[in-house]
Amino acid sequence: MYVLSLTVHAILGIAVTAWIIGENRALFVSVPGRPRISAVELAYWAIGIGSVVLGWYFNIRFVLEYHHDGTNPLWGPGASWAEYIYLMFPNWAADSASQDYVFLNVLILPIMSIAGGLRKGLPKPWLFFVSSLFTSAAFGFVLYLIIAERQRRARPAHTAV
């Protein structure tokens, strides 16, 4: 069951990322006279990919350590979402970091990406939050910032800010 759960999460993470890029495919076309990728975007990609790799390393370790045969991956004892959230708050220092993570990922990212995405004319901006549920919170943020950076770079030179 745990291998299936991890596999489904990985597939959903890749699928949502591909969906976001597909929805914004016009921003991934080369613009003559401009570099294919900016230094800022490259930094975002590095940070985002690093956060996914490190996050998945820890998540796989969590699942392997807490896995019990027949465990429900959503609730109950073992490697479930409920147990994961419970383990985020074991002491005051972790409580502080975990509440910050929850506010950033569950409250700020959706507001920022949906409101900002709608203002920028991005299709389906709620997908950035969805991507964070299967990749990492940092990846959801940087994917939004990558699309915003590409949109900025795609504007004609005289309107670039």
pLDDT digits (tens, 9 = 90+) for 1-46: 677 878 988 999 999 999 999 999 999 988 777 788 999 999 999 9
User: Which pLDDT value is given to residue 18?
Assistant: 97
Average pLDDT over residues 92-98: 96
Q: Which of 126, 149, 148 is nearest to 19 (CA)?
A: 126
Least confident of 6-10, 14-18, 137-141, 146-150: 6-10
Q: What angle do CA 90, 96, 99 make, to 5 degrees?
A: 95
| Spatial distance between the Cα atoms of 35 and 10, rounded to a whole number of angstroms | 31
Q: Give this prediction's pTM.
A: 0.86
